[in-house]
Amino acid sequence: MLFRTILTSNALLLSLVLTMPAHAQSMVAGSAAADDVILEMNQAFKKGNSKRLSALLPQARGHALEPWAAYWELRARLDTAAPAEVQDFFLRFAGSYQEDRLRNDWLLLLGQRRYWSDFAAERAHYRMNDDREVRCYTLALEPLQSGPELAAEFKRQWYAQRDGDEGCLYAAERLFAAKQLSELDVWRKARLATEGNRPRLARQAAEIISKAAAVMVDEVNANAARFLKKRAVASARITRESVVLALIQLAKSDPDGTASILENHWSVHLSPEQRSWVWGVIGKQVAQRLSGDALQHFAKAKDSDLNDSQLGWKVRAALRQGQWKEVLAATQAMSVESQQESVWVYWRARALSRLAKTDVERSAAKTLYERIASVRGFYEQLATEELGQGITVPAQPEALSAEEKQAAQDNAGLQRALYAIRIGLRSDGVREWNYSTNLHTPGGMGDRELLAAADLACQNEVWDRCINTSERTKSVIDFSQRFPMPHKNAVLQRATQIGLDPAYVYGLIRQESRFIMDAHSGVGAAGLMQIMPPTARWTAKKIGLSNFKPAQINDRDTNIVIGTAYLKLVLDNFDGSMPMAAAAYNAGPSRPRNWRGQSGAPLLDAAIWAENVPFSETRDYVKKVLSNTTNYAALISGAPQSLKARLGQVGPRDASGVEPNEDLP
């Protein structure tokens, strides 16, 4: 049938069935035709075809994925469903992911309809607790005397939103009316929305204050430069705040010009807090261009008036300039939550260490390193090395018992998830797997249970769930699960053949695809090494791979051959710099060339260079690939490893005296 997209052989599917408990086997054995029904229902759900779903549902009775089929059918017509139908679903599939998923959807509908007594009653049974809009509705209904704690939690939820929703807008209106949100709180939301290219959210925020404010924000959104020209002064609060929004809008494309406009005219009309915010936006934009002028702009703002994103870019700019006092001050000005993140703990410790003049100050830096030191990530590994230790493989946890493994195999949610993944419903299976291993759900898992669940995923070669589940353990670390080596012979042989560090190849594949053979990105990258078709064609020609066809990048061996060949070409192109080659693999070679800095710029510690990568995705990617590589090297070699040695230093384009080959795609 059209919808049958089975991803594995019948033999693999049968092996999955045989690992299931007996009651589950009876539902799925020999159910190929029923699988087609499930797959067709999934397609009908995506198309919103409720009639087709209702017609197909009887054929899904008794199937292992019946809870999904029933969920799709009811969810597609939830707007018109009777409450009794919803309650029947909750009872029939009690304790399952599908029950809680539908409850999430039902709570949103109850909130939209303002059925608050029903919402409150149902909210008490909601286990997932990860939907921001549901949380906003809940906060809107909390007793108003809850005070600043409630408002602070709401602001964290609201400010973090990239896309608006009715629930959080409703909560904002309620809290503003109750004077638990100030005008400044609301305008800060509008500023964040403007900076994030979300004009509709900026207008929504302004409308909470007044219709006049919303009209003025409309003018800013239409043409920020024209808005500023129409106003010589800004005496009213809404005018001043709208001027701030206009300056933010202009700063995104022309930070230097906006700095001149602010300094020469608008600075005297704005409050110190408003000026600081605009200078923070200008400084951030200049820092993202890797300009040495960024700190001059940040210097005109008070750290206490900047948000965490602006402070983060102030830290990065200060790192590039070697201004450790500024690094320390900016990290100390961050919110409590951000101060606990390993990235800022590490840089604060580095600043304290560089500035220390007494044993007490040196001890304070050491204490911060000790707080995060481990093999769990990039900055954790760097902290470990700052303490004089190498990166080694942690002691293997006590072997799983037969009972622990059996408990994982008997977990209905895990088995449904594996089955869904095997027949091509990966996103649905991943959601159910994550739910079933979540500590906050009934039967939620501790470390030993997570290890057993990860083992189940590993045995079924569902490597992304193996890795992600094992990564959530707190007191133990199983490197064999976190850093598996599928396709070992193919990877090691190919890496050795072309002179690549196999740990680097594994570190990159783990980040690119989590070893999902048929992984496809939204932009067209494919396979284990996530190769773009044009890059594959260019590389195949470069290495003399004759008769190459684009479809071959989905073949494991071809993907490895082309991916490693391209990685080697990129690595050589950047003089063996692993961080720069990783950045080039992710963002294309031209960008890292520009990020190297101009001729005459000083050499940078590559950790500082990596932290200053302007693209958040690439910045995260480089750090994870290098961290992965170091751990894989420890596994492969059995000897202590150094992340610092792999990072090295990064200098301007002509630092080596050799210009890079410009023809890399």
pLDDT single digits (tens) 388-446: 999 999 999 999 999 999 999 999 999 999 999 999 999 999 999 999 998 655 557 99
Round to whole Å and give the CA distance between 217 and 236.
14
Report if residue 298 sits inside a domain.
no
d(CA 273, CA 305): 6
**643, 595: one domain:** yes
Domain contains 521: yes
The string of DSSP letters for 325-372 reads HHHHHHHHHS-HHHHTSHHHHHHHHHHHHHH--SHHHHHHHHHHHHHH
158 and 135 in a single domain? The answer is yes
Closest to 511 measured CA to CA, from 582, 426, 615: 582
Instruction: Give the per-residue SS3 of 185-218.
Output: HHHHHHHHHHHCCCHHHHHHHHHHHCHHHHHHHH
Number of independent structural domains in the chain: 4
Same domain (yes/no): 206, 249: yes
| Residue 238 φ/ψ, nearest 5 degrees | -65, -30
- pLDDT block averages, 10 residues each, the chain of length 665: 35 44 43 92 98 97 97 98 98 96 98 96 93 93 70 91 92 93 97 96 97 96 95 84 98 97 94 98 97 96 97 97 97 97 98 96 97 98 98 97 97 97 97 88 81 98 98 96 97 97 98 94 92 95 91 94 97 96 96 78 89 97 98 98 96 58 69
The per-residue pLDDT for 162 is 87
Domain span at 216: 189-253
Is residue 539 within 8 A of residue 521, CB to CB? The reply is: no
Q: Is 499 helix (H, G, I), strand (E, B) or coil?
A: coil
Say if residue 504 is in the same domain as residue 637: yes
Domain end marker among 476, 498, 526: 476
Tell me which residue has tokens 């699988």: 35
Asked if residue 502 and residue 466 are part of one domain, the reply reads no
- Cα 21 from Cα 311, distance rounded (Å): 53
Q: What's the pLDDT score for residue 653?
A: 66
**DSSP string computed for 143-189:** -GGGTHHHHHHHHHHHHH-SS--HHHHHHHHHHHHTTSS-HHHHHHH
| pLDDT confidence of residue 236 | 87
Q: Token digits for 347?
A: 């840089």
Is residue 496 domain-shared with residue 645, that is, in the same domain? yes
Distance (Å, whole) CA 521 – CA 121 = 41
Compute the distance between CA of residue 12 and CA of residue 9 in angstroms, rounded to an integer.
5
Residues 6+ apart with CB under 8 A from 347: 315, 319, 327, 331, 611
The Cα angle at residue 11 between residues 7 and 12, in degrees rounded to 5: 50
Tokens 């002179």 belong to residue: 499
Same domain membership, residue 605 and residue 495? yes
Residues noted as catalytic: 512
Asked if residue 656 is part of any domain, the answer here is no
Query: Can you name the residues that pair with 223 across neighbouring β-strands?
Result: none
288 found inside a domain:
no
In-domain check, residue 358: no
Q: Let me know if residue 114 belongs to a domain.
A: no
CB 115 within 8 A of CB 84: no
For the stretch 362-398, pLDDT in tens is 999 999 999 999 999 999 999 999 999 999 999 999 9
CATH number at residue 557: 1.10.530.10
Tokens of 223: 């043409």
Let me know if residue 296 belongs to a domain: no
Residues β-bridged to residue 531: 526
Contacts of 141 (CB under 8 A, 6+ apart): 116, 119, 120
Residues 540 and 620 in one domain: yes
Asked if residue 322 belongs to a domain, the reply is: no
Distance, in Å, from the CA atom of 119 to the CA atom of 502, rounded to the nearest integer, reads: 54
Clarify whether residues 541 and 639 are in a common domain: yes
Q: What is the DSSP letter of 134?
A: H
pLDDT of res. 600: 56
Joined together, the tokens standing for residue 265 give: 């005219």
pLDDT on residue 17: 47
- Using the 3D structure, point to which of 253, 285, 300 is the last residue of a domain: 253
* Token pair for 438: 């979540």
Instruction: Look at residue 391 and give its three-state secondary structure.
Output: strand
Contact by Cβ (8 Å): 507, 391: no
Which residues are CB-contacts of 568 (< 8 A; sequence separation ≥ 6)? 498, 499, 500
Cα–Cα distance for residue pair 514/630, rounded to 1 Å:
17
Asked if residue 450 and residue 498 are part of one domain, the reply reads: no
Query: Which of 213, 236, 253 corresponds to the end of one domain?
Result: 253
Query: Which of these, 486, 514, 414, lies nearest to 454 by C-alpha position?
Result: 414
Tokens standing for residue 101: 């998923």
The strand pairing partners of 505, in sequence order, are: none
How far apart CA 175 and CA 154 sit, in angstroms, is 9
* Position 296, amino acid: Q
Based on the fold, state whether residues 523 and 630 are members of the same structural domain: yes
pLDDT at 654: 59
Q: Per DSSP, what are the bridge partners of residue 604?
A: 650
Instruction: Give the Cα separation of 305 and 277 in Å (integer).
Output: 7
344 CB-near residues (< 8 Å, 6+ apart): 312, 315, 331, 334, 338
Judgement on whether residues 177 and 195 belong to the same structural domain of the protein: no
Cβ atoms of residues 500 and 568 within 8 Å: yes
